[in-house]
Amino acid sequence: MTKVSIIGSGFSSLSAACYLAKEGYEVSIYEKNDTVGGRARQIKKEGFTFDIGPSWYWMPDIFEKFFNDFGKSTKDFYKLDKLSPAYKIFFSDDEITIGDTMDKICDEFERIETGSSKPLRKFISQAQENYDIAINKIVLKPGLSPLELITKDTVTRIDQFFKTISSQVRKNFKNPKLISTLEFPVLFLGAKPSKTPSFYSFMNFADFGLGTWHPKGGMYEVIKAMRDLAKSLGVTINTNAAVEEINVLEGRTNGIVVNGETIISDYVLSGADYCHSETLLKPEFRQYSDAYWNKKIFAPSSLLFYVGFDKKLSNVEHHNLFFDTDFEAHAEDIYDNPKWPEKPLFYVNFPSITDVTMAPNNCETGFFLIPIAPDLEDTEELRQQYFDIIIDRFERKTAQKVRDNIIFKESFCVKDFKKEYNSYKGNAYGMANTLMQTAFLRPNLKSKKVKNLYFTGQLTVPGPGVPPSIISGKLAADLIKKHQSN
Ligand SMILES: Cc1cc2nc3c(=O)[nH]c(=O)nc-3n(C[C@H](O)[C@H](O)[C@H](O)COP(=O)(O)OP(=O)(O)OC[C@H]3O[C@@H](n4cnc5c(N)ncnc54)[C@H](O)[C@@H]3O)c2cc1C
């Protein structure tokens, strides 16, 4: 049997492991941490359940397709609920609630700007066309050649690759609150909306068209489902297994070193952060220099707080965005002039509002996230200072006192991203999807210097986020199959 060693156990590695095992490969996963899931792990403490990374379950079709490829359905593993409302946005002078249907969203747009529902329907209909092209055609390509991007559909939309989402939204909507609402989805791609091609409006269709879902028990249920599927297909999963080296002999990898032990393998696939994976090779076998990585636009890092409250909270939904300060000023502090933001925007989720399994009775599980530039100074004092800022704002905007009801609190920031995941500069969501960092312009799935060595995950093709990471695993598995059959 052909042996494949996979580094890491995030979404991309688990996905690749399942596809390869299904094809008859002998697959072993080596994960440095003591549990699987990577950035999507979960903390369960004092009755509270916190997903420590992803919380927005978007693009349910991609998850379904993944399980269908193995003759299964998401339903075989977890229960999905469509959230209603999907989320709420707090602005300085108003709140916008995004419902679970286009009709409800159109009503809300009309309330803010009379006549805005008409351009909204048109915008989302175009976004849906882009979604169909992106998801069914483009993201399934391995990013090996620019020709992959040239299709009848993309040629007729070429202008959408050179205009930005920001300019397209501003052309159709004038109200700043509606503009921020429509620019929010592309933030998942890791760059400023003014640097993200308007073709990526497919994220708006994912948001308004497909909706926001919640797997009962939290996002970690998806990791558990993929882990169980992998095991049922014969994958061996090793935790507390940090890979120390990728061995190369005569231009081809013949295995890895884990906790001092050499594991002979026919193929090695790394789902760990790409730049870290290359440091496991001797310098002559690395494809990308420090200067290369340093020039790239990385998605933000984050300051995160996992907070347990001893009461139920009011005036909030499952997902809440606090856009009550200047969006542009915060984006500048992340991308243009990296520094701790003066007036941070932040995001909070309370999964226990819709899912009682996530918190003890009459308690609330809260996850607070401030996006920040990668590699900022990270100290306990700074973390506490920002916690105080956002809790004060949270209390004011939601008109309730919560500070004295905190019975659990942990934080996670740049230092933890580096230590826990070997993350480059402590990035949270990998490398941004800008025009110059799309498809064949991203770090390669296949090493150009070492035969039989492959990469997967949010720093390579197609990009950051859970659905793209699942697809990335499939693409890497397909390349390995193709290589072996040649
Ligand atoms: C705070 C946060 C919020 C997010 N929110 C969302 C969201 O709401 N929706 C969404 O779709 N996406 C979201 N994302 C992005 C999403 O979580 C990621 O894109 C995805 O989980 C990345 O998966 P991956 O397989 O590429 O990498 P990872 O999950 O990082 O997996 C890599 C694994 O490799 C391991 N590893 C590293 N070095 C070694 C080594 N030497 N040996 C062995 N193992 C090693 C790491 O421990 C890790 O387990 C969020 C991310 C974060 C951090």
In this prediction, residue 485 has a pLDDT band, given cuts at 50, 70 and 90, of: confident
How confident is the model over 170-196, as a mean pLDDT? 93
Residues 6+ apart with CB under 8 A from 76: 67, 225
Q: Which atom of ligand 1 is nearest to the CA of 59?
A: 11
Distance in angstroms (rounded) separating the CA atoms of residues 453 and 450: 6
Distance in angstroms (rounded) separating the CA atoms of residues 485 and 66: 23
Q: Which atom of ligand 1 is nearest to the CA of 244?
A: 41
Residues 6+ apart with CB under 8 A from 388: none
Give residue 188's pLDDT: 87
Give residue 260's pLDDT: 95
- Ligand 1 centre to CA of 452 (Å) is 23
DSSP 8-state assignment for residue 265: -
Peptide bond into 462 cis (omega under 30): yes
Give residue 159's pLDDT: 85
Distance in angstroms (rounded) separating the CA atoms of residues 199 and 471: 19
- Ligand 1 centre to CA of 36 (Å) is 10
User: Which range is least confidently modeled, 242-246, 315-319, 431-435?
Assistant: 431-435
User: What percent of the chain has a predicted confidence (pLDDT) above 90?
Assistant: 90
Nearest to 30 by CA among 226, 219, 245, 220: 245
- Ligand 1 centre to CA of 454 (Å) is 17
Give residue 154's pLDDT: 86
User: 166 pLDDT exceeds 90?
Assistant: yes
Q: Which atom of ligand 1 is nearest to the CA of 57?
A: 9
- Ligand 1 centre to CA of 421 (Å) is 8
- Ligand 1 centre to CA of 69 (Å) is 23
Give residue 349's pLDDT: 98
- Ligand 1 centre to CA of 10 (Å) is 5
Ligand 1 cavity residues, CB under 6 Å: 7-13, 30-33, 38-40, 53-56, 242-243, 271-272, 276, 302, 304, 369, 421-422, 428-430, 457-458, 464-466, 469
DSSP 8-state assignment for residue 201: G
Tens digits of residue pLDDT in 352-388: 999 999 999 999 999 999 999 999 999 999 999 999 9
Q: What residue's CA is closest to ligand 1, atom 41?
A: 243
- Ligand 1 centre to CA of 277 (Å) is 14
Q: What does pLDDT average to over the chain?
A: 96
Q: What residue's CA is closest to ligand 1, atom 32?
A: 272
Mutate to test the pocket of ligand 1, among 6, 39, 51 (most ligand atoms within 8 A of CB): 39
Q: Widest CA span of the chain, in angstroms? A: 68
Mutate to test the pocket of ligand 1, among 466, 474, 475 (most ligand atoms within 8 A of CB): 466
Q: What residue's CA is closest to ligand 1, atom 7?
A: 54
User: What percent of the chain has a predicted confidence (pLDDT) above 70?
Assistant: 100
What residues does 457 pair with on adjacent strands? none
Give residue 185's pLDDT: 92
- Ligand 1 centre to CA of 108 (Å) is 34
- Ligand 1 centre to CA of 38 (Å) is 5
Q: Which two tokens stand for residue 327?
A: 């969006």
User: 424 pLDDT exceeds 90?
Assistant: yes
DSSP 8-state assignment for residue 27: E
What residues does 164 pair with on adjacent strands? 197
Nearest to 69 by CA among 478, 452, 446, 458: 478
Tens digits of residue pLDDT in 430-459: 999 888 998 899 999 999 999 999 999 999
- Ligand 1 centre to CA of 39 (Å) is 3
Strand pairing category for 261-264 and 252-258: antiparallel
Residue type at position 421: Y
Task: Specify the pTM.
Answer: 0.98
Tens digits of residue pLDDT in 174-185: 999 999 999 999
Q: What residue's CA is closest to ligand 1, atom 47?
A: 421
C-alpha dihedral sign at 107, 113, 117, 123: negative
- Ligand 1 centre to CA of 98 (Å) is 27
Tens digits of residue pLDDT in 116-165: 999 999 999 999 999 999 998 888 899 988 888 888 888 888 888 889 99
Peptide bond into 85 cis (omega under 30): yes
In this prediction, residue 403 has a pLDDT band, given cuts at 50, 70 and 90, of: very high
Mutate to test the pocket of ligand 1, among 50, 61, 429 (most ligand atoms within 8 A of CB): 429
In this prediction, residue 213 has a pLDDT band, given cuts at 50, 70 and 90, of: very high
